[in-house]
Amino acid sequence: MRPVLVLTHAAYEGPGLIGPALDAPLRVRTVVDATQPALPALDDVSGVVVMGGAMDADDDLHHPGLPAERALLADAVAADVPVLGVCLGAQLLAMALGGTLLRRHGTEIGFGPVDVHADDPVLGALGPRPTVLHWHSDAVSLPPGATLLASTPATPVQAFRQGSALGLQFHLELEPAMLALWLATPEMAADLSDDELDALRADGERHLPTLVPAARAAVAAFADQVRRRG
């Protein structure tokens, strides 16, 4: 089986539970700051997963690898390669498909529900109104031709599907160890008060026992798509 390409943008924002749940070989690359990114050919991978990061999805000046990531995503969808974009990854996917980045559209940090609007084989594993972790201030418009899957009042596009690609503005990859890492990482937590950090810890203890198994089931559904490509 060909490996799944995983694009990361920060050491503390890895694939989390997505990696083991894929049950496939992974090729992890971080090319966001490379002026000439070395990315595999799509014929050499069975799927593409793009993780989060603190940078803006259109900040090509400071992160010259972003255009290559967006081009790869556009080509992957055109070639019917399974794609999963998470947070920044969803924003890059939306831009690659003709959507617009909406900087500082509205900050969402913490656990909260998303309203599901359409059936999807991957997102559907989370349930009809799942509580998930949000950690973003940017948003995107719905790409032309894409299906809106989920929203919140603050973020009209929380999940979308276009062909082989699924974008999730929220964090599907989260597991307890990753949440603990984020809350201890200054780049993630510096702007949060002690009360906000305590609330995130408490909410994680309450929601992750339900969310983690559902997220693994969702990734397993994506893994089925990857295995069909082989």
Q: Which domains does the chain carry? A: 4-174+212-229 (3.40.50.880)
- 60-107 pLDDT per residue, tens: 999 999 999 999 999 999 999 999 999 999 999 999 999 999 999 999
Contact 3, 46 (CB under 8 A): yes
190, pLDDT greater than 90:
no
Alpha-carbon torsion (30, 163, 229, 227), positive or negative: positive
Average pLDDT over residues 2-26: 96
Rounded CA-CA distance 199/148 in Å is 30
Mean of all residue pLDDT scores within the chain: 96
Q: How far apart are the first and last CA of the chain?
A: 5
* pLDDT score for 105: 95
- 108-153 pLDDT per residue, tens: 999 999 999 999 999 999 999 999 999 999 999 999 999 999 999 9
1, pLDDT greater than 90:
no
- 44-58 pLDDT per residue, tens: 999 999 999 999 999
Q: 171 catalytic, yes or no?
A: yes
The catalytic residue among 69, 87, 134, 175 is: 87
Place of tokens 């059936």: 119
Rounded CA-CA distance 194/70 in Å is 37
The catalytic residue among 69, 136, 171, 175 is: 171
160, pLDDT greater than 80:
yes
230, pLDDT greater than 80:
no
Percent of the chain surpassing pLDDT 90: 97
* pLDDT score for 55: 96
Nearest to 151 by CA among 124, 120, 133, 129: 129
* pLDDT score for 44: 97
Q: Output phi, psi for 124, to 5 deg.
A: -60, -25
* pLDDT score for 68: 98
